[in-house]
Amino acid sequence: MKVLTHGLAMLLLLLVIVVPVVAADDDNRYSYLTVQSVEIQLNNHNATVNVTYTIDDGVQVLVHLLGMSDLREKVLDVVNFEDATIDEITMDHAVLSVPGVGLDYGRGTFWFPEHEFPVKIPSLVVASPQDRREFENTSVFPEGIGYFKV
């Protein structure tokens, strides 16, 4: 029984390592995640980031068995914000908080600078209280956006 358990654990580990390498050809893939969309809602200094994605079928079982810690790391890597924290995470969606992402220019004005992602995002939305910008198939939010305090 011990050999069987050890063999199953090794097989699962091999799947986690091999599946991301096989899947590396798609631009919107990051390891076993395929990113569908990212929406960034700016609010003064902070942002809320909604990410939708799919997980490779073979890896879904592993995530259920081994827990969400690796999935959490992958999602944090995909959004690429230094101080992001995950508020909610499921097998197809995550909500993150990013403090201090808006640079304070004084008198209630803020700037969200250009931002890069490690993958191509099929649908990227960046929204401030005054503006909403939408992009398709991009790995960068270009130029930045200015906005005012809510």
pLDDT at 64: 81
- Per-residue pLDDT tens for 68-103? 999 999 999 999 999 999 999 999 999 999 999 999
Given a cut of 60, is residue 14 above it in pLDDT? no
Distance, in Å, from the CA atom of 80 to the CA atom of 137, rounded to the nearest integer, reads 17
Tokens representing residue 122 in the block:
């099929």
**Which ranges in 1-145 belong to alpha helices (H)?**
2-22, 57-66, 69-79
Tokens representing residue 82 in the block:
């230094």
Strands (E), the chain: 29-30, 33-43, 46-55, 85-89, 93-98, 103-106, 109-112, 115-127, 132-141, 145-148
Residue of 148, 128, 66, 54 lying closest to 92 (CA atoms): 54
Given a cut of 50, is residue 24 above it in pLDDT? no
**Mean pLDDT of the chain, nearest integer:** 88
